[in-house]
C-alpha cells in the first residue's frame, strides 16, 4: 500500500492550519479574560479610593 507524498503534505498542512486556528482562538479567549480582569481591577481600585460609580462616602 503506497501513500503519495502530495497526499501526506496535504494532510500535514491541514493539521497545521487546524492547530494555528486553535491557537488563535485560545489567544483571543486569553485576551478577553485579561481585559475583563483589568476592568474588574479598575472597578475595585475605584471603589477603594471612593472614585467611580459607587462613591465611598462613609469613609
CB 6 within 8 A of CB 12: no
Three-state SS string over 9-24 comes to: HHHHHHHHHHHHHHHH
Query: How confident is the prediction along the chain (59 residues), in pLDDT tens digits per residue?
Result: 555 555 455 567 888 999 999 999 999 999 999 999 999 998 888 877 776 555 556 65
* Distance of alpha carbon 38 from alpha carbon 24, whole angstroms: 21
Where exactly are the structural domains of the chain?
Answer: 7-40
Closest CA to 52 of 41, 35, 43, 38: 43
pTM of the model: 0.55
Which pLDDT score, from 0 to 100, does residue 2 have?
Answer: 57
Amino acid at each position: 500500500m503506497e501513500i503519495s507524498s502530495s497526499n501526506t503534505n496535504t494532510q500535514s498542512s491541514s493539521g497545521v492550519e487546524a492547530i494555528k486556528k486553535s491557537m488563535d482562538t485560545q489567544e483571543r479567549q486569553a485576551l478577553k479574560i485579561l481585559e475583563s480582569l483589568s476592568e474588574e481591577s479598575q472597578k475595585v481600585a475605584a471603589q477603594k479610593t471612593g472614585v467611580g460609580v459607587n462613591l465611598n462616602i462613609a469613609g
